[in-house]
Structure 1
Amino acid sequence: MKRELRYALRSLSPRPTAALMAWSLPEALPAALSGVAVANAVDRGFLAGRPGVGLLWLASLVVVSLVGAVGTRMVFRRLGDLAEPFRDHLVRRVVGGALRNGADGRPDHGALARLTRQVEIVRDTYAGLVIVVRGFLVTVVGVVVGSLSIAPVIALLILPPFLLGLLAFLAVLGVAAARQRVSVLADERLSDAADRVFSGVRDISACGTQDTAAALVATPVAEQAAAERALARVAALRTACFAVGGWLPLLVLLFAGSWLVGNGLTAGAIMGGATYVLFGLQPALQNFVAGVGGSGLRFVITLGRVLDASAVTTEPRSGDLPPDGHAVRLADVTFAYGPHAEPVVEHLDLTVAHGEHLAVVGPSGIGKSTMVSLLCGLLRPDRGSVTLGGVPATDLPRPELARVLIPQEAYVFTGTLRENLTYLNPEATTADLDAAAAAIGADLGDYDTELAPETMSAGQRQLVALVRAYLSPAPLVVLDEATCHLDPAAERRAEDAFAARGTLIVIAHRMSSALRADRVLVLDGVGAVVGDHTTLLRTSPLYRDLLGHWEVAAPTASQPA
């Protein structure tokens, strides 16, 4: 959030900002003079037996309100001088970043959407924030000046609780931004899971696997619900902040009324102070909380997406790495699900050397599973080549001896545990089974036990699949979220075992997997960046965002890493 706020503040042009503030001065008159007019109308007019004088003071409020309306009109006319250059700067950034990345072989297919939608959202919320923040400052300054002119003690009574509520809201704002970002990512994961289930409704009904389908979306649903509840709690905190800053000053003033009168303060002065609270501070704080807490968060998150996506990638391409006898190599790979579909992978060059540990990360639905299918020869690229040890992945004579893939839903068939573990390596001995289970950290029990897959938990099935893969002769192992049902410590032990065994490619669902890898491939839907953890922290905004989201959403997951 700090980066987006700094970017917005740097975009404030001096001359338009000065003009805007100059026209804010007449707009501040109603806020500054309302309490003074009420105090004089009461003390010098109605309580003094001169109703005409009281009415004249109240009529002065109409005059200053008209002057304030002129100032407001001119403020809105000048607003475009700030908002439009800000929009133009964002447009130049998006277009320039897309052109530079395209010239470097990384076409930016999301640039058009950012130009036509996201930039306009940022421009509109930016203008709204300027109006809200400026109006808040103008009103508060007017109230401070006016209350001091009536009696300094009134300012000393109403301003501290108001500032307390304001500071509490500002403290909550950072938490709200983080939870808003978590909610957006949770919604993306839920949409992805629901789409996968809905696309197989006929198969689910035919096979009677409704419970399995429900389990697939249960976790994303729970995560989304938790994110929404977290946002609701933040909204409740905002309401509490407004109650403190908006109503506590009035209560303090009313409770101190007898003491103020005893110290010579007039009834009109007290009413003037109440006017400042009810018609100055309360509306200003309410508009500020609603505007910054709503449009402000939308501005920060959308602007962050625009800045991240329009950044120019400078990381060297991994295709320059030398291959070896068991290397996995993707050369200029492009793939799309249909002739008219947008490419999921485009012009991708990647070499994974034998014995290397690579993690693949990115938002849900970005193409990580497609990458797995290409690596394992389940999909043929539309352009380019995917080779394992120099042989096309789709043409391997005995693919089970070259690589083994474990998907998220591990397959266990009815039979003995030994049969499940050894079908990729029928020659494996009991000692081999013991060594593999010890390496993975799995306590599987008697190898001659008959397994009933429907009674096994998802974590138990994953442990069986992991030991089976470890026993296979394949030099390459691909884990497509194959440890998602294990705890972080068990996941780390399994990944470390495979990394020591040979080549390992992990589709990471926990960012701790990326921290353990030799290199990380970051997919963002328009390109790919590869590097080690330190390099990506410096060069990939998306990687920083994914890492920050993981640390906020699941802090305990990082402890075993």
Structure 2
Amino acid sequence: MSGPDVGRTTWRALRARRRDVGRLAAWSAVESLPALLAGLLVARAVDQGFLAGRFATGLAWLGGLAVAILLGAVATGRVYRALGAVVEPFRDDLARLVVHGALHDATRAGGHPDSAPVARLTHHVEIVRDTFGGLVMVVRGFLFTAGAALLGLLALDPTVAVLVAAPLLAGLVVFAAALPAMLSHQRTQVRAGEALGRSAANALTGHRDVLACGAEERTVAEVDRKVGDHAHAERTLARMSALRSLSLGLGGWLPVVVLLLAAPWLVRRGLSTGAVLGALVYVTTSLQPALHALVQGLGGGGLRYAVTLERILRTCRPPAHGGAAATSAPVPDGGSPAVRLSGLAFRYGLRARPILDDFSMTLPEGEHLAVVGPSGAGKSTLAALVAGLVEPERGTVHLAGRPVAAVAPADRAALRVLVPQEAYVFTGSLADNLRYLCPDADDPTVETALAVLGAEPLARRLGGLAATVDPATLSAGERQLIAAVRAYLAPAPLVILDEATCHLDPTLEATVEWAFARRPGTLVVIAHRISSAVRARRVLVFDEDGPMMGGHQELLARSPAYRDLVGHWDDVAAAATGGTATADRTVAGVAAPHG
């Protein structure tokens, strides 16, 4: 009925709760007692009681059926209790998967927190929870009810059981053969609905631009096309209900017709009137309702379950074993540069000004590069290209000798870590936040990282590694400091700080950058202050004539744009302190020993 991921996920969910599933099966067996005994007891009541003139005997047999129904009713309550023990943990597993995906997106290199996808996926989780519970009930109900009814028919007469089972099996085969097509049409209907929603939302939010550009007819035509696609998908899905009706007709009603037509022949063979009536009771009160529930459940909720769970699994991949820090992408030896950019070209839109055009750069292992330039020049775009978060229009990006485009997203964490300006901290222990990219780091290692980056006072204020962190109580600088320690502990040899220390004071910022500079590996800093450029061995400035690379003093001599940036930063620093610091004094105050 569903893709392999959905099938495996469902099977794992059931296997993980074998005891609860076993309890559910046991109570289901008790619940199916009326389905097992109804036809037999009715046959006895008719043959040995009412037709034989023994009214009390007939009532006694029917009384036995009433007792079985009462036991089944008690078992039904236990069934729902056992069902909750199976369904609710599965729902919790999916919720954890969604939260993990949201945290991964928010804390990965270049990521940012976004509650909208979480809200949508949480709604999907509730859909899966409800439909999963419904699927378990209808499949369980059919297996036990139909199985009990067939056993009862066998006890009545094996020939009758065969006459009933043959059309029932035919109906199931027709339904099973139609399920893949139903699932495909359900996917199409969901996608068409989402496309219609996006098209309508874009038209409404951009109505002023539409009017300004005179694109009303084109926009209406586009939305109308989406409406037509959605209507066509709905009609196609509705036509599939004919196959469900065919299945119900074959499996549910054809056995009744067969029994009625075969009744004279069965009686001539020696089957009693009560047995014929009991067989009809089995078909009409057990098999028909069970088959109807199965077909409607799988054909309705089952399709929604498969499509929605597919969406969750595709959007939020399960966490890799061992934590978020991937170790399956070893960095090759042999002296490959840490970063090699070849002929990069990138622009936002076909007619936009190129951010990069035929840009090439090589950073050896252990390099410390600062990237500077005015806002909007492309500094963060370059960081995203190096990290593999966006694809260039042309050119290639190699990290440690490996083309980033050929590395699976989950494996890129072993090559680089990018810390964005908006640091994300999740509710949990401080240790869990710091170990997010390196779950195997022991306490001494974490404590050393805290000391090296100047974060010990913050850790003490929060209450130590075991203390629970509430992001709402942290300042932007405190969140950045936690994210910096997290990146420092990561195994990736390349660290990219995209204005990741802009909320720290200059002294603490210098401490953090010096710590990363001494850390084994390569450091790229998208500079927020001129001090970051002075500390770096090399500086890449986005000049009017294109990116230019060199040392601090070299660029002061060669690049007017760099001189303007240095002067702007110095003016800001002087205004902030109320002093009249010159560029030379500012630079001297933060210059690094290794220059």
Alignment partner of 1:350 is 2:397:
no
Evaluate the alpha carbon distance shift between residue 321 and residue 168 of structure 1 in structure 2; reply closer, same or farther with a 3 A threshold.
farther
* Equivalent in the alignment of 1:531: none
* Equivalent in the alignment of 1:478: none
Which structure 2 residues correspond to residues 147-296 of structure 1 after superposition, within 5 A? 147-199=153-205, 211-296=217-302
Evaluate the alpha carbon distance shift between residue 171 and residue 270 of structure 1 in structure 2; reply closer, same or farther with a 3 A threshold.
same
Evaluate the alpha carbon distance shift between residue 124 and residue 50 of structure 1 in structure 2; reply closer, same or farther with a 3 A threshold.
same
Match of 1:96 among 87, 100, 116: 100
1:119 positional shift: 2.0
Does the Cα contact within 8 Å between 1:34 and 1:61 map onto a contact in 2?
Answer: yes
CA distance in 2, matches of 1:124, 1:259: 47
1:174 positional shift: 1.7
Match of 2:57 among 53, 74, 87: 53
CA distance in 1, matches of 2:287, 2:145: 7
* Equivalent in the alignment of 2:343: 324
So what's the TM-score if we normalise by structure 2?
A: 0.54
1:192 positional shift: 2.4
Does the Cα contact within 8 Å between 1:321 and 1:351 map onto a contact in 2?
Answer: no
* Equivalent in the alignment of 2:87: 83
Q: Deviations over 1:118-174 (max 9, x none)?
A: 222222221221111111111011101100111111100001101111121122222
Does the Cα contact within 8 Å between 2:98 and 2:122 map onto a contact in 1?
Answer: no
CA distance in 2, matches of 1:211, 1:103: 43
1:392 positional shift: 8.3
CA distance in 1, matches of 2:97, 2:218: 46
Q: Deviations over 1:339-391 (max 9, x none)?
A: xxxxxxx99443232599xx9xxxxxxxxxxxxxxxxxxxxxx9999xxxx99
CA distance in 2, matches of 1:327, 1:206: 29
1:225 positional shift: 1.5
1:321 positional shift: 6.1
Evaluate the alpha carbon distance shift between residue 183 and residue 322 of structure 1 in structure 2; reply closer, same or farther with a 3 A threshold.
same
Does the Cα contact within 8 Å between 1:37 and 1:60 map onto a contact in 2?
Answer: yes
Opposite residue 53 of structure 1, the aligned amino acid is: T
SS at match of 1:322: strand
Q: Deviations over 1:442-482 (max 9, x none)?
A: xxxxxxxxxxxxxxxxxxxxxxxxxxxxxxxxxxxxxxxxx
CA distance in 2, matches of 1:70, 1:327: 68
Does the Cα contact within 8 Å between 1:83 and 1:123 map onto a contact in 2?
Answer: yes
CA distance in 1, matches of 2:210, 2:265: 75
Evaluate the alpha carbon distance shift between residue 195 and residue 89 of structure 1 in structure 2; reply closer, same or farther with a 3 A threshold.
closer
SS at match of 1:49: coil
Opposite residue 152 of structure 1, the aligned amino acid is: P
* Equivalent in the alignment of 2:517: none
Does the Cα contact within 8 Å between 2:344 and 2:393 map onto a contact in 1?
Answer: no
Q: Deviations over 1:69-122 (max 9, x none)?
A: 111111111122211221222233223333344443234635632564222222
Does the Cα contact within 8 Å between 2:135 and 2:297 map onto a contact in 1?
Answer: yes
Does the Cα contact within 8 Å between 2:36 and 2:149 map onto a contact in 1?
Answer: yes
Evaluate the alpha carbon distance shift between residue 242 and residue 303 of structure 1 in structure 2; reply closer, same or farther with a 3 A threshold.
same
CA distance in 1, matches of 2:120, 2:207: 34
1:18 positional shift: 1.1
SS at match of 2:392: strand
* Equivalent in the alignment of 1:459: none
Alignment partner of 1:125 is 2:131:
yes
Evaluate the alpha carbon distance shift between residue 306 and residue 43 of structure 1 in structure 2; reply closer, same or farther with a 3 A threshold.
same
CA distance in 2, matches of 1:187, 1:120: 19
* Equivalent in the alignment of 1:68: 72
* Equivalent in the alignment of 2:424: none
1:286 positional shift: 0.9
CA distance in 1, matches of 2:91, 2:284: 37
* Equivalent in the alignment of 2:25: 21
Does the Cα contact within 8 Å between 1:128 and 1:295 map onto a contact in 2?
Answer: yes
1:47 positional shift: 1.5
Alignment partner of 1:6 is 2:8:
yes
Query: Which runs of no fewer than 5 residues in structure 2 stay unpaired?
Result: 321-325, 330-337, 348-355, 357-377, 398-404, 406-498, 501-525, 528-539, 547-595
1:208 positional shift: 7.9
Does the Cα contact within 8 Å between 1:29 and 1:64 map onto a contact in 2?
Answer: yes
* Equivalent in the alignment of 1:305: 311
CA distance in 2, matches of 1:136, 1:81: 20
Evaluate the alpha carbon distance shift between residue 327 and residue 125 of structure 1 in structure 2; reply closer, same or farther with a 3 A threshold.
closer
CA distance in 2, matches of 1:326, 1:302: 38
Does the Cα contact within 8 Å between 1:331 and 1:350 map onto a contact in 2?
Answer: no
CA distance in 2, matches of 1:10, 1:326: 46
CA distance in 2, matches of 1:196, 1:121: 26
Q: State the Cα RMSD in Å.
A: 3.6
Does the Cα contact within 8 Å between 1:333 and 1:348 map onto a contact in 2?
Answer: no
SS at match of 2:343: coil
Does the Cα contact within 8 Å between 1:186 and 1:224 map onto a contact in 2?
Answer: yes
